Copies of this chain bind each other. A is one copy, B any other.
Amino acid sequence: MNDSGENGEKKRSRRPPAERTAQRDPERTRAAILDAATREFAENGMGGARVDAIAERAGTNKRMLYHYFGDKEQLYLRVLEEAYVSIRTAERALHIGDRSPEEGIGELALFTWRYFLQHPEFLSLLGTENLHRARWLRQSVRLKELHSHLIGELSDVLEQGKKQGVFIQTADPLHVYLTIASLGYFYLSNQYTLSTIFGRDLLEPTHLNAWERHIVHVTLTSIKR
């Protein structure tokens, strides 16, 4: 039933400048807008992003954008929610409790670093949202449980490590997560100013690999007995 390609083209249009009929695909249009918006907001922030630019990137127009998402702010919030759901979903699939505590933490650190590296738009969106003091995120209800799971799982792993005597008793799950995230976030999100003032390209593979090892090393030595 999937009509791929052209069905009978009986359409000899009379007027419109665009004679080519776009095949209708609401789901695709919606996804294209969301994707285009993600890139536009990530590159230019909330204040700098242009609604016209998003429509153009999505290969559609403003009318559709307002039709599906309401207005610029609601679209931005959807982009942000989507970004959070993506990283937390991938994170869950790790199941850091399946390995030894030490390996579990190391795995989480590696995953986080590599996810940040492959999703610069996520870091950028976080930066924008924080510039505005989480003005839009705070309105979103559906995001909290997403995170309580992360802390819960991390807490279990730490407890097990403490019982086994490999981790110090004061190790705190939130602190461990913040440590991992800090080291990845700052290096990447501030790579441009850092590369400029220190005169080294931080994105060179050699430096990236060194920093990856550094993150794991710092995280583990800070909680090991």
Contact = CB atoms under 8 A, between A and B. Distances in A.
A114 interface: no
A144 B48 contact: no
B182 A187 contact: yes
B126 A193 contact: yes
A134 B181 contact: no
Interface residues of A, number: 54
A46 B221 CA distance: 39
Within the oligomer, what is the number of copies of this chain? Answer: 2
A129 interface: yes
Q: Is the interface of A mostly helix, strand, loop or mixed?
A: helix
Of A134, A148, A193, A222, the most chain B CB neighbours within 10 A belong to A193
Contacts of A45: 45, 47-48, 128, 131
Contacts of A198: 147, 151, 174
Interface of A: 44-49, 84, 124, 126-134, 137-138, 143-144, 146-148, 151, 174-175, 178-179, 181-183, 185-187, 189-200, 210-211, 214, 217-218, 221-222
21 contacts: A44-B131, A45-B47, A45-B128, A46-B48, A47-B48, A128-B131, A129-B192, A137-B192, A137-B196, A143-B197, A146-B197, A147-B197, A175-B214, A178-B186, A178-B211, A179-B214, A181-B186, A182-B186, A185-B190, A218-B218, A218-B222
9 smallest A-B Cβ distances: which pairs? A47-B48, A182-B186, A134-B192, A47-B47, A147-B197, A218-B222, A182-B182, A133-B192, A134-B196
